[in-house]
A and B are shown apart, each in its own frame.
Chain A
Amino acid sequence: MSQKPQNQTGTSRRDFLKAASLTGAVFALGLPKSEILASPILNLSSQPGLVLPETAELTPYILIEKSGRITIMNPRPEIGQGTYQSVPALIAEELEVSLDKVVIRQTGGETKFGGMWSQAVGGSGSIRGGYTQMRKVGASAREMLIKAASDQWNVPVEECYAENATVVHKPTGKKLTYGQLAEPAAKLPVPKEPKLKDPKQFTMLGKSMPRPDVPLKVSGQATFGIDAKVPGMVYASIERCPVLGSKLVSFDASQALKVKGVQKAVKIERVVGKNHYEGVAVIASNYWAALQGRKALKVKWDHQGHDTFNSADFEKSLRDLAKSDGVVGHNAGDFDKAFADSPNQLEAFYETPIVTHSTMEPMNALAHYQPGVDSPGNKVELWVSSQGGDLVKDEVAKALKVPADNVAVHILFNGGGFGRRLTQDFATEAAMLSKTIGKPVKVIWTREDDTLLGPFRPMTFSAMRGALSADGKAVAFQHKVISPSIDATMNEKYDKTKPDGTMLEGTGEQKYEIPNLNTRYVNADIHIPLTYWRSVTSSTVAFAHECFIDELAHKAGKDPLAFRLAMLAKDTDAKRVLTKLKEVSGWNKSLPAGKGRGIAQWEFFAGLAAQVVEVSKNTTGGVTIDKVYCVIDLGTVVNPDTVKAQVEGAIAMAITAATKDGITFENGQAKQANFDANRMLRINEMPQVEVHILAEGGPTIKGVGEPGLPPLAPALANAVFAATGKRIRRLPFDLEKLA
């Protein structure tokens, strides 16, 4: 970071608030709580069709007040990945306003901002999907403002330009501010194909800019979902059976109701994909009382036979299933023949665990169901940390059977997402609970709820087969994934006879020039809910795929990186990334005894990155991770410092998944309930990270949030092999002591 941080949120946001509280439209992330949460006008916010007095809406994303204040609507929730800066910056750059002069507000699923995930964050897609679209929004508004000025001055448009929220008439130096121009500009047609700026002219995009949410997050002022409050709200904690799939037989709340502050205990349903779970919600005047009341509940569950489910048996069933053929995903050449013909065959089996998202902010939602929700003005209103305003709106509308337009959603800062907050079970549950009890209610999950109840990242097992040619190149490669399916737990209509693209993610997309390639998927039934986890299936299958490439290199007697580059003759991004990584990691420099380095790359829907991990043997019979080098290929970068942060974070998350506990089931329930048993990487375990960004501009835009994750586990396992000669084929493994 080279810039002085700007006080984006200080004056402008407070001023906005003052003005807004007069006009009756308030809502921005991170407003000082005293002002926002106690505000009686809060319930008017984001009402469909609400127009701010003296405000011109140039596009739904840009509001300009006569005073000159500019509000940018950000459709992409902030989950730590920097979209509170990067997405508004796309608009502001073209609009010719500095981001520290604008107010940023989060959209809440309103139809005018689009549906179908256009207000959601997932798949590393915010910049990939919005780069041109959001710039066009800003450019259209800029052209409208310039046109309005030229009309007013009666001069040609070409003689005018915009800078710093004003339009200037070049020959005379006359100026009009955006505030002065907003009203006439808003009456002009929105240009369909506005002229975008030449990237050479960018003042924000491509530069490491300070993020406007940072000052709020160092002062305790940022408002997360868990911090939201409305007048008259009550708290709830919900007892659900940790043996997933159990049915509620009965409950006795007599003791719970004796706890001071406890008001009620009611049955409530949680919907996750195709799974419906029952629970008992304890309602109280404060959260602590709700927790105490919950402890005092007596609940009878019928486990429906699920209490015998355990990881050891399930894993054995996956190993048995590995013998079946499965469904073909990708196929090139004739794997069977090439494999059979080769004298140099290799087979290996890899295993990965179920893991949790464990966002630091546990799941929670505040919901207010207003009776007569079908009458005008009445609605269901939610304040949530969620990865998608449109997702919350649709899911709640479906669950409560109300028109989607009657669902008002306030997306607050997310205390982590990682894919967990793409599933809206916590929001629909709170909305249904509010309807049941007739009050605004905030449901907060405990850490134990968050860990035990899923949805989880599925485990994947991989059966690998490969063969080498006489000159030591891979001629045949097969990756068979054996696992339960995310789609199958979400979708009733899942078709087992079709290849499952999500579970085979990336396996057919690597650029290695292997003439005979075959990928297969064998589905395993599971009753526990599964979902996307940062980098989805790439987070597990890349481990098998890239470790097996290493095994082939070893069998061929080749350097692992040279082996890979030899299979990358054509000019591809993968080749450029590996070539760059070779240089920056000092791959050819020898390491002292007791140290080793490993390499891996991974290309998938979200993007492309490669890593070198350096480890040294430690005194406990394990290894220490010393350093990780990462090259990430973006094509176009918006905020390099954010990219660096995302890669650092992805690496930390990948190390946890590869070397910590993961989730195992016994007697039908997860054995790990909190951070004591489901451990997370801590500061003393974090290696040095060096990030290199490849961004040469042009039309290619690749994702940022996820690609830093998949290469870590295989690069680490390959480094362990280099340092110790031990092959890691099962995750998690213990860094302290290698088995």
Chain B
Amino acid sequence: MASVKLTINNQAHTLDVDPEMPLLWAIRDVVGLTGTKFGCGIAQCGACTVHLDGNPTRSCSIPVSAVVGQKITTIEGISKNADHPVQKAWVEHQVPQCGYCQSGQIMSAVALLKQTPKPTDADIDTAMQGNICRCGTYNRIRQAIHTASAEMGSSPKMPKSNPKIGKR
């Protein structure tokens, strides 16, 4: 064990952990922030995505010793009142089903929009491909990213899709 100093959501933490412990478990079990999820442990699903100095990173596959001195942001840290434009767009499009993948999806989307404020569908495919959603919320994720992009910039709003209810 050793003491490791981490900055998570602008707060300094000194953790007494194995330096090899993946950042994911340090965040969840030691710091106690459970919005970041465990899905695969091998950088395949994106459920554990956090930002390291703004870059989306799979926290399951990076040891705490490697992130010392970096600015770590988790889902709990992207806004004060869950009012980041991406979060608002997620609510507007009712994206989550079970919701388990969505912290990671949102972290990837926030990073994408920072880098590419007006992403094309191809940009979205590239940036979001590492995040599995077993519930299949992909089309809503895409729409919500376009909505958030419009909200943050000035591009035109995507029309929202509505289920069509018909008489038979």
Residues of A within 8 A of B (CB): 1-2, 5, 33, 78-82, 208, 210-211, 213-224, 226-227, 229, 235, 260-261, 286-289, 292, 358-362, 413-418, 444, 446-447, 576-577, 580, 584, 633, 637, 640-641, 643-646, 648-653, 674-676, 680-684, 686, 688-696
Contact = CB atoms under 8 A, between A and B. Distances in A.
A209 B135 CA distance: 19
Given A288-B18, A682-B129, A415 B139 contact: no
B96 to A, nearest CB: 4
A650 B18 contact: no
B132 interface: yes
Given A2-B162, A286-B29, A648-B137, A213 B129 contact: no
B106 interface: yes
Contacts of B6: none
A361 B28 CA distance: 14
B163 A218 contact: no
Interface in B13-65: 17-18, 21-22, 25, 28-30, 32-42, 44-45, 47
Contact of B100 (A224, A649, A682): A224
Contacts of A261: 18
A362 B135 contact: no
Contacts of B90: 214, 218
B136, B138, B142: residue with the most chain A Cβ atoms closer than 10 Å = B136
Contacts of B25: 286-288
Nearest to A6: B91
A576 B135 CA distance: 29
A412 to B, nearest CB: 11
A634 to B, nearest CB: 9
A287 B29 contact: yes
B45 A675 contact: yes
A680 B134 contact: yes
A645 B97 contact: yes
Contact of A648 (B42, B100, B136): B136
A288 B21 contact: yes
Interface in B129-153: 129, 131-142
Given A220-B34, A415-B98, A684 B40 contact: no
A5 B168 CA distance: 30
Interface string B96-134: 111111110010000000000000000011101101111
A676 B40 CA distance: 9
A226 B24 CA distance: 13
Contacts of A361: 37, 39, 98, 100
B162 A650 contact: no
A79 B96 CA distance: 11
Nearest to A643: B163
A417 B100 CA distance: 11
A112 B163 CA distance: 37
Given A219-B75, A653-B136, 8 more contacts: A5-B91, A214-B96, A215-B82, A218-B95, A220-B103, A360-B135, A444-B38, A640-B165
Given A649-B135, A676-B44, A694-B168, A360 B94 contact: no
Contacts of A235: 29
Given A286-B30, A289-B18, A217 B102 contact: yes
B67 to A, nearest CB: 15
A5 B163 contact: no
A217 B75 contact: no
B83 to A, nearest CB: 9
B98 A686 contact: no
Contact of B134 (A444, A653, A686): A653
B137 A360 contact: no
B91, B135, B166: residue with the most chain A Cβ atoms closer than 10 Å = B135
17 contacts: A80-B98, A80-B135, A218-B102, A219-B35, A286-B21, A360-B47, A361-B39, A645-B97, A648-B139, A651-B136, A680-B132, A683-B138, A686-B138, A686-B139, A688-B139, A694-B168, A696-B168
A82 to B, nearest CB: 8
Contacts of B38: 226, 362, 444
A693 B128 contact: no
Interface residues of B, number: 70
Given A208-B162, A220-B75, A649-B136, A683 B100 contact: no
Contacts of A447: 39-42, 45
B92 to A, nearest CB: 6
A129 B121 CA distance: 41
Contacts of B140: 645, 648
B97 A210 contact: no
A213 B96 contact: yes
Contacts of A211: 94
Nearest to B87: A218
B129 A580 contact: no
B94 A214 contact: yes
A693 B91 contact: no
B5 interface: no
B17, B32, B35, B129: residue with the most chain A Cβ atoms closer than 10 Å = B35
B93 interface: yes
B35 A220 contact: yes
A577 B18 CA distance: 59
Given A218-B102, A361-B98, A693 B165 contact: yes
B74 to A, nearest CB: 7
Contacts of A694: 166-168
Given A360-B101, A447-B40, A640-B165, A220 B33 contact: yes
Contacts of A213: 96, 99
A689 B132 CA distance: 18
B160 interface: yes
A169 B49 CA distance: 56
B164 A693 contact: yes
A652 B32 CA distance: 33
Nearest to A210: B94
A219 B36 CA distance: 10
B134 A645 contact: no
A713 B59 CA distance: 35
Contacts of A681: 136, 138
A289 B20 CA distance: 10
B57 to A, nearest CB: 16
Contact of A644 (B17, B42, B133, B163): B163
A288 B1 CA distance: 13
